[in-house]
Amino acid sequence: MLRPPEDGWAPDAALRDVCERVDEFPLSRSRTLVNAGLAFVGHEPLQAAYARHAGASGRLAALVASEAFDVLHVEHLRGVKLIEGLEGIPIVFDAVDSIAHLFEQTARSAARWQQRLTARLDLRRTERFEARVPYRFPRMLVTSPVDKDAFVQLAGPASAARIDVLPNGVDWEYFTRGSGAREPATVIFTGKMSYHANEAAALELAQRVMPRSGRDSPTRG
């Protein structure tokens, strides 16, 4: 498991409870900056280069060489560079979503100008990378048909048969509406606020949606 500096606070006890073993590889801020600099002078998208980590790549190679595993599952564009050159094991690439598709939206709607600028600078690199990535693995997963369509548009119709949609799982029995008394006029917004899309959505709700809702409400005093 890679732990970038922005996720240094995140607890991992729950993950360790359900996994036989967890190998953790911290990514320092200096390492991510070097990775980003190398990406800019080359042709890789920042998201692919960001998580380069020699220790993590070496550990994965050793695990594959042990022949103790039947399949390798790698998640997100950031994980692709960690498994370059690995052979002898089927690999499932779980892209989750199309980063290029996200960057198109970020370039228009992100809350901060720095986020919009970064998305614009990295969009074409990411498009070129994602146009090739479905052909690098025996199987690829995304969480929605929208993301599959985005990949197929970049990679061509032949990529469609290599990409499966696997929606996020939700425990509907656990996440049910409560029956008890609730505080009036209360809104709960949950999400990781270091993710630009969640930040933009929260600001949209607070600055535009809620003021309009209060202004138009017939019960407002």
pLDDT digits (tens, 9 = 90+) for 148-205: 999 999 999 999 999 999 998 888 888 887 788 888 778 888 888 877 788 888 888 8
CA distance 98 to 183: 38
Q: Reduce the DSSP state of residue 31 to 3 states and report it.
A: helix
pTM of the model: 0.80
- Those residues of the chain that have pLDDT short of 70 are 214-221
> 193-206: string of b/e by CB count within 10 Å (b at 16+)?
eeebbebbbeeeee
The full set of domain ranges for the chain reads 2-216
Tokens 């790549």 belong to 57
**Is the Cα dihedral 10, 193, 144, 27 positive or negative?**
negative
- Distance separating alpha carbons of residues 55 and 25, to the nearest angstrom: 7
Structure tokens belonging to residue 98:
């199309």
The pLDDT of residue 221 is 38
- pLDDT computed for residue 220 by the predictor: 44
Residue-level pLDDT at 218: 47
Look at residue 171 in the predicted model and tell me its pLDDT.
85
